[in-house]
Amino acid sequence: STEMTANLKTSYPEGMIANAYDLWYFDGPESHKKYQAALAKLEGQTETNMYPIVTYVAMQFLSEAIRKSCSEEPEALVKALEGLTVETPLGPRTIDAKTHRVNTGEFWGPLKAVEGSDVKRMSPPEYLD
């Protein structure tokens, strides 16, 4: 995770395969760049944490379910969430109507040293849905 590499810095083993829900240095869609810029401003750092995206996506689902159902009642929200798709900074996500699960996707890749930083980065990062 980005938190682990930031804390261990040069002690983190080169080449170790790592995973993360989000990467601040991912060169992805414009929606991700905007999300990262807002998160960096909120956190006061360029090298943002990876976990906020999980809550951000959950809140997108909840707010869209409230809009769709015009209700905050649990039963109405469950019905509205079933099969619901929302756009996220890393692409669309859909709640499976039968299992109520969402595939969030993750980045995977070997960690490598980056010139000018004591924090290793995935190189190349691969996003797996």
Q: What is the DSSP letter of 106?
A: E
End-to-end alpha carbon distance in the chain: 17
Q: What is the mean pLDDT of residues 48-60?
A: 95
Domain span at residue 45 reads 2-128
Place of tokens 């980045």: 107
pLDDT band at 8 (very low <50, low <70, confident <90, very high): confident
pLDDT tens-digit series, residues 57-85: 999 999 999 999 999 999 999 999 999 99
pTM of the model: 0.87
- CA pair distance 46, 25, nearest whole angstrom: 9
- In this predicted structure, the answer to whether residue 129 has a pLDDT above a threshold of 90 is no
Q: How many separate domains does the chain show?
A: 1
Number of Cβ within 10 Å of residue 90's Cβ equals: 23
